[in-house]
Amino acid sequence: MLSEFDLIQEYFQRPRHPARATLGIGDDCALLTPTPGMQTAISSDMLVEGRHFFAGEDAARLGHKALAVNLSDLAAMGARPVGFTLALALPSADRDWLAGFSKGLFALADAHDIELIGGDTTKGPLTICITVFGEVRPGQALRRSGARVGDDIWISGTLGDARLALGGYRLELSMDAASLQAAAARMHTPTPRVALGMQLAQQGLAHAAIDISDGLVGDLGHILKQSGVGATLDLDALPAGAVLATRDAAMRRAFTAAGGDDYELCFTAPASARADVLAAAASVATPVTRVGSIAAAPGLRLVDAAGAALALQLQSFDHFTS
């Protein structure tokens, strides 16, 4: 039987990154040497089987997603990823699962040149807790509280395909297999917008940012609340995912505005920075779309392409009440 130490050594211990962690897996703590003058950005997310992912979910996709949702938080701060810890509860030390999970995890880690520096493994209901570390120059971090009246509201990439796939899996709506598979890729293997976040932070282009994990309307709501402002959001401007784009307007509006699991960035920037925002996004090959503007009057006003008010009942996802 695979012991805890064998498990770590076989599946999670890799050659040490030459320039990064001073001490990695295998001691009481990992040791990181911060780059002088930089702040450390830290985020921790816990994924529970049956809640954040289906029972029996493919292990490699899960390895990718568990790290991706944390990298998305660093992206929303504009921080450069440095490393992460992994705490893992597993019902059993299944070799196939571990091989798949570590493969998906390290493929994304390698793509961002970051290192697993420590963690914990135990028997238990399948639960994944990753804590991720990044670096950002003081004063450059993108916060939720910085939106200003007159700012444009921007969205990276597209929204809603993950929500559409969920509807397909739940049989709430009919989808052919190819469409479901295409939409589900957005749910299973989200792309954290790290390079875009770093560009926005380093060039000082964005006033506020958040990553869209629980649905745009709810997440934008955090920016509005913490910035003490309101906004107008053009639902017809929201960029729908490729599969969702083939659906009717009502579904497009609902799933782009309040889908969840998108892991795109929502950020605000002054109108004077429009060309710079587009150039920064182009430099990292990340599409961005202008979808509304920040206003002084509190509250979020949803409008259509003609500017007419829409009265939609939208709810963001809550991990306790849903």
SS3 27: coil
Rounded least distance, CB 127 to a copy of itself, Å: 5
Residue 199 as a binder of a copy of itself (CB under 8 A): the answer is no
Quick check: 215 and 260 in contact, CB under 8 A?
yes
Q: How many residues bind a copy of itself (CB under 8 A)?
A: 70
Out of 144, 186, 193, 247, name the contact with a copy of itself by CB under 8 A. Answer: 144
Residue 105 as a binder of a copy of itself (CB under 8 A): the answer is no
Find the part of the chain contacting a copy of itself (CB under 8 A) among 114-122, 151-159, 237-245, 246-254: 114-122
222 annotated as belonging to a binding site for a ligand: no
Out of 66, 105, 108, 136, name the contact with a copy of itself by CB under 8 A. Answer: 136
Find the part of the chain contacting a copy of itself (CB under 8 A) among 118-126, 164-172, 286-294, 295-303: 118-126
Spatial distance between the Cα atoms of 318 and 322, rounded to a whole number of angstroms = 5
Spatial distance between the Cα atoms of 207 and 286, rounded to a whole number of angstroms = 19
Residue 155 as a binder of a copy of itself (CB under 8 A): the answer is no
Find the part of the chain contacting a copy of itself (CB under 8 A) among 151-159, 180-188, 207-215, 249-257: 207-215
Out of 210, 235, 243, 281, name the contact with a copy of itself by CB under 8 A. Answer: 210
Structure tokens at 149: 């009246």
Residue 129 as a binder of a copy of itself (CB under 8 A): the answer is yes
Find the part of the chain contacting a copy of itself (CB under 8 A) among 3-11, 243-251, 271-279, 298-306: 3-11
Q: Phi/psi at 212 (nearest 5 deg)?
A: -90, 100
In the DSSP assignment, the letter for residue 319 is T
Please list, in sequence order, all residues whose beta carbon lies within 8 angstroms of the beta carbon of residue 26, skipping any fewer than 6 positions away. 13
Find the part of the chain contacting a copy of itself (CB under 8 A) among 186-194, 208-216, 229-237, 256-264: 208-216
SS3 187: helix
Spatial distance between the Cα atoms of 101 and 63, rounded to a whole number of angstroms = 5
SS3 248: coil
The CA–CA distances, whole Å, from 182 to 179, 185, 191, 242, 245 equal 5, 6, 14, 8, 12
Q: Quick one: residue 42, left, alpha or beta (phi over 0 = left, psi -120 to 50 = alpha)?
A: beta
Structure tokens at 159: 């929204």
Residue 123 as a binder of a copy of itself (CB under 8 A): the answer is yes
Residue 319 as a binder of a copy of itself (CB under 8 A): the answer is yes
Structure tokens at 62: 């899960």
Residue 22 as a binder of a copy of itself (CB under 8 A): the answer is yes
Letter for the amino acid at 130? I
Residue 33 as a binder of a copy of itself (CB under 8 A): the answer is yes
DSSP string covering 280-318: HHHHTT--EEEEEEEESSSEEEEE-TTS-B---------
Residue 114 as a binder of a copy of itself (CB under 8 A): the answer is no
Angle between helices 59-77 and 194-202 (to 10 degrees): 10
Residue located via tokens 């779309």: 289
Rounded least distance, CB 75 to a copy of itself, Å: 8
Pick between residue 10 and residue 236 the one whose CB is nearest to a copy of itself: 10
Rounded least distance, CB 187 to a copy of itself, Å: 17
Annotated binding-site residue numbers for substrate: 52, 261, 317
Annotated binding-site residue numbers: 28, 43-45, 52, 73, 119-120, 144, 211, 213-214, 261, 317
Task: Give the interface with a copy of itself as residue ranges (CB under 8 A).
Answer: 1-5, 7, 22-23, 26-34, 36, 38-46, 48, 50-52, 73-74, 76-77, 79, 85-89, 93, 117-125, 127, 129, 131, 133-134, 136, 138, 141, 143-145, 209-211, 226, 318-321
